[in-house]
Structure 1
Amino acid sequence: MLNNAWWGEFTFDLQQQRCWRLGERAIILKRLDNEWNSWNLETDTDNNELMVVGNGDENYAIGEAKFGRYLQQSTSQNIRVLPLLADRAVVARPDTPLTLLAGEKSRLYVSTPIWFLAQLLPKGECLLDLPFWRPSDSWFGPSTREGQICYAKYTEARIQLNNIDKRPHRAITPITVINNHNKALTIERINVPVTLLHLYADEEHQLWTTGISVHRDGDSDNVELHLDKQAPVEALSPMLISGPRIAIEQSILIRSISSLFA
């Protein structure tokens, strides 16, 4: 399976294995009578390789992979594989700081990393939940006491969608910033709350999240964070792939500006 959707339901015969590979990055699953085996071959750097789903018979560098065993009384033949957004907020940074003038609005596009989720069917137990590439940790907040631990992803916050590389292991989040304040807003870093977002795939299997709108009004240090209820308009023929890691009922949240922008 090349340059196509790498997720869905997969059937494993006994002793059969499958491999999800991005260049030198690989995740391998194998079914036995009473256990599942996994091999997690990590790399230090991200890349733009196509996703290849195969049988993993080449077993390249398998001795360097992290090996896991997951026991069951009897294994079922079906597994569901899904892309999932990161388990923390992701901090993105434009190539250069952006200044949004008073009374203006702009739409930004941020690319964030995807996790590989494997669930055992029919019950849906989690077998694997791991990133294709784990970003470094980053503290985001106005001080060392106020803030949160996020993942750092200091590239690909763009104002033009065609400037973002579309990759099978990354999702695109559109962020609309509306600055109705009487002062300009300078954006050096953006805290993207991906744990609250739904994940979609378009007709070309590119992954998207629900969009976010940030409203800055008046003289307040707070902003309204609006979570869209559907796929962004840029995603053609979208299909819902997975829900948010953290489900919330409200779609409008009040945040301090320092918790979203720096």
Structure 2
Amino acid sequence: MAENAWWGEFTFNLKQQRCWRLGDRSIILQRFENEWNSWNLESDVENDEDMVVGEPVEDCCIEQAKFGRYLQQSTSERIQVLPLLADRSVVARPDTPLTLLAGEKARLYVSTPIWFSAKLQPKGEKLLDLPFWRPSDSWFGPSTRIGQICYAKYTAARIQLTNIEKRAHRAITPITVINNHSESLTIERINVPVTLLHLYSDEASQLWTTGISVHRGSHIDNVELHLDKHAPVEAISSVLVSNPRVASEQSILIRSISSLFA
């Protein structure tokens, strides 16, 4: 675990509390002899503050939080906290529609939301799995019958990495689009399959996913979706943090173009 990372293995003494706080957004855990307690204090406003891990602050409105009790015959002192990618695909969109000309390729960067996961050690029982800020639901597909439920966090797709804000509760996904078709490709929305991606941390504890490459052939409307097997080159001194929610042995998937772009 890097020095400024908010995840890893944490040791709790009896009755000890720990708080993960992003401005007004807080997640609190407390250990007792036969149970764990949690407080999930949500906030309507997503902010860019640094994550603070420590004791709950005095002005924390804990009475407004969602309270949970998790019973055990005897609690262990260790908990593993990990960031996870969303449990559905996430829809991103550029500030304005992008048109990729025939025979060209481009690399986009998308910021996607992170979930807070806590597992009890040593057996790995799940205690919490919740988003810092839950995106709204959205239908993505060519019709009301064909498509899937996604998260509609319309995070901007950028063509310059420097234009992506680096935040503790978000991961960056590089997407390379290769258009070998005879016609241009207009991108208004992108369906990012984050459930299939590994999660990495760079030397500054910024979270990254494995990169995605989308290959559009010359004569067909289906595309090949390539999932990288390693961290993106932009993630300096990267280490693996968590595995995909959905395991897949395939690194190349065939998709209809309407299932990825709109």
TM over 0.5: yes
- 2:155 counterpart SS class: coil
Unpaired runs of at least 5, structure 2: none
Give the distance between the partners of 1:154 and 1:175, measured in 2 at CA: 16
Between the aligned partners of 1:137 and 1:122, the Cα distance in structure 2 is 35
Letter in 2 for 1:6: W
Matches within 5 A, 1:77-226: 77-226=77-226
Cross-structure match for 1:34: 34
Query: How much has 1:218 moved relative to structure 2?
Result: 1.6
Q: Distance in 2 between matches of 1:152 and 1:46?
A: 15
Deviates more, 1:124-133 or 1:153-162: 153-162
Residue 219 of structure 1 and its aligned partner are, at CA, apart by 2.1
What secondary structure, in the 3-state scheme, does the structure 1 residue paired with 2:143 have? coil
Match of 1:64 in 2: 64
Q: Deviations over 1:147-190 (max 9, x none)?
A: 00000121221000000000010000000000000000000000
Aligned to 2:75: 75
Equivalents in 2 of 1:105, 1:72: separation in Å? 54
Q: CA deviation at 1:214?
A: 0.1
Instruction: Decide whether the 8 Å contact of 2:101 with 2:179 is kept in 1.
Output: yes
Q: Deviations over 1:46-76 (max 9, x none)?
A: 1101100011152611111000000000000
Output the CA distance in 2 between the equivalents of 1:60 and 1:26: 8
CA shift, 1:45, in A, is 2.0
* Alpha-carbon distance in structure 2 between the residues aligned to 1:246 and 1:218: 30
Q: Segments of 4+ in structure 1 off by > 6 A?
A: none
Q: Is there any run of 5+ residues in structure 1 with no aligned partner, and where?
A: none
Q: Is the 8 A contact 1:93 1:153 kept in 2?
A: no
Q: Secondary structure at the match of 1:128?
A: strand
* Cα displacement string for residues 200-238 of structure 1 (whole angstroms, at most 9, x for unaligned residues): 000000000000000001221100000000000000000
Please tell me the residue identity of whatever aligns with 2:129.
Answer: D
Amino acid in the other structure paired with 2:113: P
- TM (norm. structure 2) is 0.98
Task: Report the Cα distance in structure 2 between the residues aligned to 1:193 and 1:155, rounded to whole angstroms.
Answer: 14
Paired position in structure 2 for 1:250: 250
Count of residue pairs the alignment pairs up: 260
The separation in 2 between residues aligned to 1:245 and 1:35, in whole angstroms, is 27
Q: CA RMSD in A?
A: 0.9
TM-score between the two structures when normalised by the length of structure 1:
0.98
Match of 2:17 in 1: 17
| One-letter amino acid matched to 1:167 | R
2:230 is matched by which residue type in structure 1?
A: Q
Give the residue type in structure 2 aligned to 1:164.
I
